[in-house]
Amino acid sequence: MINKADKNITEVLSQIKDGATIMIGGFGTAGQPAELIDALIDLGVKDLVIINNNAGNGDHGLAKLLKTGAVRKIICSFPRQSDSWVFDELYHAGKIELELVPQGNLACRIQAAGMGLGAVYTPTGFGTLLAEGKETRHIDGKDYVLEYPIKADFALIKADKGDRWGNLVYRKSARNFGPIIAMAADVTIAQVSETVDLGALDPEHIITPGIFVQHVVQIEPTHSTTAAST
């Protein structure tokens, strides 16, 4: 009998080692798995490569992880924000490497990894600094840049509800990168606000089928659950 929700957060995260490549869900703080990130910080691993849309906000979550110096490189689309002072300082001090990827190419390269594609020709970024040195091709009247998949050893995501087979549903705009990074990582760890019985999630409503999820960790919800969703 498979129970993907049978380990505590520390046990689950202990498989992450120095040098790991980790995708982290969230757009800003919506959908950011804050508790998994805190547990990752406690683990004390180093030399990480992080993939996220942003580069941390304020002093919590991803920003806090960056501040520990555990992250060697970040792949993201929008690091510069009004409250990204932790990243800003590391970047200006030359203490973190940045690979800037247009947001749609970030999504698309993650999807390519999840789908098992070798590479894709994307129109985004053609002729820009972010495509410098990259192979291009003119196809059917339009210009494209060749982009390669982005995979990861781990994905840390935040979902709303999960079951013991790893099926997940999300909440509002916290869904964002969750479903696609779950498909692109060797091991996906989901924190959920509620663990439900098998069969409680309608098969028509499941957003991430359990095949893409290896561990489910229940965290007490901190958001206001005004609108319940299944």
Partner 1 sequence: MSHTLLTRDQIAERAAQDIPDGAYVNLGIGLPTKIAKYLPADKDVFLHSENGLLAFGPPPAKGEEDPELINAGKEYVTMLDGGSFFHHGDSFAMMRGGHIDICVLGAFQVAANGDLANWSTGAEGAIPAVGGAMDLAVGAKKVFVMTNHTTKTGEPKIVSELTYPVTGKNCVDRIFTDLCVIDVTVKGLVVTEMVENLSFNDLQAVTGATLIDATK
Site for a second copy in 189-208 (CB under 8 A): 202-205
The identity of residue 110, as a single letter, is I
Closest CA to 96 of 88, 85, 105: 88
Q: Please state, in angstroms and rounded to a whole number, the distance separating the CA atoms of residues 30 and 39.
A: 18
Q: Is 34 in the site for partner 1 (CB under 8 A)?
A: no
Query: Helix, strand or coil for residue 182?
Result: helix
Tell me which of partner 1, a second copy, none is bound by residue 148, counting a contact when its beta carbon lies within the kind-specific cut-off of 5 to 8 angstroms.
Answer: a second copy
Site for partner 1 in 72-131 (CB under 8 A): 77-81, 84, 87-88, 91-92, 98, 100-105, 107-108, 110-111, 113-117, 122-130
CB of 203 to a second copy, least distance (A): 8
CB of 105 to a second copy, least distance (A): 11
Cβ proximity to a second copy, 66 vs 201, nearer residue:
201
Q: Please state, in angstroms and rounded to a whole number, the distance separating the CA atoms of residues 110 and 24.
A: 12
Contacts of 63 (CB under 8 A, 6+ apart): 55, 56, 57, 84, 86, 87
Q: Is 30 in the site for partner 1 (CB under 8 A)?
A: yes
Q: Is 199 in the site for partner 1 (CB under 8 A)?
A: yes
DSSP character at residue 177? T
CB of 110 to a second copy, least distance (A): 13
CB of 205 to a second copy, least distance (A): 5
Site for partner 1 in 36-65 (CB under 8 A): 53
Q: What are φ and ψ of residue 110, in 5° steps?
A: -65, -45
Six-digit token pair at 59?
A: 């002093």
Q: Is 121 in the site for a second copy (CB under 8 A)?
A: yes
Closest CA to 32 of 69, 61, 55, 65: 61
Cβ proximity to partner 1, 65 vs 77, nearer residue:
77
Contacts of 61 (CB under 8 A, 6+ apart): 26, 29, 32, 34, 37, 38
Q: Which of 155, 167, 191, 192 is close enough to bind partner 1 by CB under 8 A?
A: 167
Query: Which chain residues interact with a second copy by CB under 8 A?
Result: 108, 112, 115-123, 137, 139-140, 142, 144, 148, 169-172, 202-205, 229-230
